[in-house]
Structure 1
Amino acid sequence: MIDVASFGEPMVEFCATDVGRIKDVYIFRRGWGGDTSNFIVAVARLGVKAGYICRIGNDEFGKSFLELWHNEGIDVSQVIIEEGGFTAVYFISLLPGGGHDFTYYRKNSAASHFSPSDLNPDYLSGIKVFHSSGISMAISESCRETVFKAVEIVKANGGIFSFDVNFRPKLWPPQIAKPYIEKIMVKADLIFMSKEDASLLYGDTETDKIIKRIYSFAKPKVFVIKMGGEGCLILNDKEKIDVPSFKVNVVDTTGAGDAFDGAFIVGLLEGKALEEIGIFANAVGALTTTALGAVAPIPRRRDVEDFLRSFKP
């Protein structure tokens, strides 16, 4: 039985080994990415039974994802291999002053062709947590419809719906994204939102304004504001908990927020207190920033436990 499943777009990653704009660097290392795939890898590495739902191309990149998920023990029974389709790709480099330079090849990818008719209601009705994101909803209309349908099935069977806003203006502008994102947040039991998401989507940068904004239309059981190097803020109907970050040698922040989400869900399923969950998730997110790539640095349970014994926020 699968405990946690996520839906979205896996993307093969080519990460530059040198600092500079993509046009100026020459050597790239192949890895894996895609926010909901990163999320489910984190869940699996932390010891929870995980599954992924998507379409991939019948190409070498798609095959590399199948190998990754198989090696991580992730269930792929709901992964559809699309003949003639292609698996999305992105190139990424680190910039001298910090930040990233991205180039994507994803339009009309196999993942974007997923539709509600591809969903398996029996599979969804048996899971404890379903996770998706704003990126998953942005890549196509059929994927938006898929998220809404999956949520309907999961919640009708007592499951939890976890949603990361992950707003990307290059995929859809705020005026188009906002109605869909707000509609799905109303249905979410758990919402993850970064301060950057709030700034890009609403122009809000102060946490109090973000909280007021979201709670004006949504009532999640747990709301998490991710603040990067500042840690995270966790809210429910009884508590507001500020959890500081861990100070580490940051190499690459790609995928750290996704790994944080995965760790948070794992902590929730294990019945930890919210502050303990925040510390655990911050540790996983911090460790994910200590090497290049979105997936390679995501820690396993023992790594996190060793880290927590050695460091304090």
Structure 2
Amino acid sequence: MTQKPQSVQADVVTIGESMVSMQPMAEGPLAYAPLFTKSIAGAESNVAIGLSRLGLRARWIGRLGVDPFGDLIQSTLAGEGVDTSLAERDPQHPTAIYFKEFKGYGDPNVYYYRKGSAASRLSPEHVKPEWFHGARHLHVTGITPALGERTADAVAVAMKMARSQGLTVSFDPNLRRKLWTEEAARRTLLALIPLCDLFLPGLEEAEFLLGELPEEEQYGQRFRDMGPSAVALKLGERGAIGFEEGRAPLRVSPYPVARVVDTVGAGDAFAAGLLSVYLNQALTADIRFERALQAACAMGAIATQYRGDWEGLPKRAELDRLLAGGRDVTR
């Protein structure tokens, strides 16, 4: 019998690596950039910030170095209302950083410096039951399993432990080809899908995991056959398709935007928007998933409108106005 959480202290727990993000202040080759701005980034902490801004209680679990970069990450997350009280500080290994390069066309190039980081040392022995005490839901991505020798095992243990304590689990494969071989990525990601309740792949990730299928709807059924009760397939500028048991595939239109500045972080914003509604127990099941997908598409689109992974994410009232077709009063 699963153990139900007692008092709810966190709606969502996220586990992963946060890094310091360095962005040049002007477009052009990174080698010649004289000035940089500093922020933080990381798929799971991006989701935690997005959820916090949308009114949910988020708890971020991660490992940071005992260094100024770790201080920056922990204080920034706390300042955004994210619970970081269970984050671990490792005096032997550093906090990771990464650089973005904007050349004025296409997506930015990203250069990671995370090998040997404190987060890459995550192992099953680090996973603790108290991470999930008083929580309703766990969100993880496929980035953490790629970081170190035992990080994939740690994520699997965390997913199993969370479910044993009565939490539901969402999993975004968030494929990062720079971090591991395609064979290892496919094998590991496929093994984690049965451990989640809600699976959030993009179309390119679905094709990577299952090969090209004749119809997009077939991906949803194939993934649901692996165990998840719901699948949200991200289609980028074409919106999304949702799959739930007993319902026909649900297509949701994209949220319109005039131009795209930076797509990094859009998938994390999508996840935050989706979970902010999907976990709303006040909504009936027949409308909850559709509204969750609409919020997810809007959040993902909004995230492409600014540089940075999370800085421009809206608060709940702002998102509600945008979904209702309203505009903010700016002057």
The verdict on a shared fold, with TM-score over 0.5 as the criterion, is yes
**1:209 CA displacement:** 4.7
Q: 2-side partners of 1:298 and 1:133: how far apart? A: 20
SS at match of 2:10: coil
**1:214 CA displacement:** 2.6
**1:212 CA displacement:** 5.0
1:13 aligns with 2:21: yes
1:257 aligns with 2:237: no
SS at match of 1:141: coil
Q: 2-side partners of 1:26 and 1:103: how far apart? A: 17
**1:111 CA displacement:** 0.8
Q: How does 1:80-159 map to 2 (within 5 A)?
A: 80-159=88-167
**1:124 CA displacement:** 1.5
Q: Which of 35, 51, 58 is the equivalent residue of 2:66?
A: 58
Contact 2:49 2:82 in 1 (8 A): yes
Letter in 2 for 1:227: L
**1:204 CA displacement:** 2.6
Q: 2-side partners of 1:92 and 1:285: how far apart? A: 19
Q: Structure 1: which 5+ runs fail to align?
A: none
1:278 aligns with 2:287: no
With structure 2 as the length reference, what TM-score do the two structures score? 0.88
Provide Cα deviations, 1:164-207, integer angstroms capped at 9, x if missing partner: 01111211122112222111101110001011223444443752
Q: Structure 2: which 5+ runs fail to align?
A: 1-8
% identical aligned pairs: 30
The corresponding residue for 2:4 is none
**1:285 CA displacement:** 1.5
1:268 aligns with 2:272: no
Q: 2-side partners of 1:64 and 1:159: how far apart? A: 30
Contact 1:22 1:101 in 2 (8 A): no
Letter in 2 for 1:17: M
**1:120 CA displacement:** 2.3
RMSD: 1.9
1:95–1:221 distance in 2 versus 1, CA, 3 Å: farther
Contact 2:61 2:131 in 1 (8 A): no
**1:253 CA displacement:** 1.4
1:42 aligns with 2:18: no
Q: Which of 253, 256, 259 is the equivalent residue of 1:247?
A: 256
Letter in 1 for 2:262: D
Provide Cα deviations, 1:235-261, integer angstroms capped at 9, x if missing partner: 111231111111123221111110110
Q: 1-side partners of 2:133 and 2:190: how far apart? A: 24
Provide Cα deviations, 1:83-114, integer angstroms capped at 9, x if missing partner: 13211111112343311211110001011112
**1:311 CA displacement:** 6.0
Larger displacement relative to structure 2 (300-309 or 13-22) = 13-22
1:292 aligns with 2:316: no
SS at match of 1:128: strand
Provide Cα deviations, 1:30-66, integer angstroms capped at 9, x if missing partner: 1111111111111111111110111001111111111
The corresponding residue for 2:206 is 198
Contact 1:87 1:109 in 2 (8 A): yes
Q: 2-side partners of 1:141 and 1:225: how far apart? A: 29
Could you list the runs of 4 or more consecutive aligned residues of structure 1 that deviate by over 6 angstroms after TM superposition?
none
Q: Which of 184, 193, 200 is the equivalent residue of 1:185?
A: 193
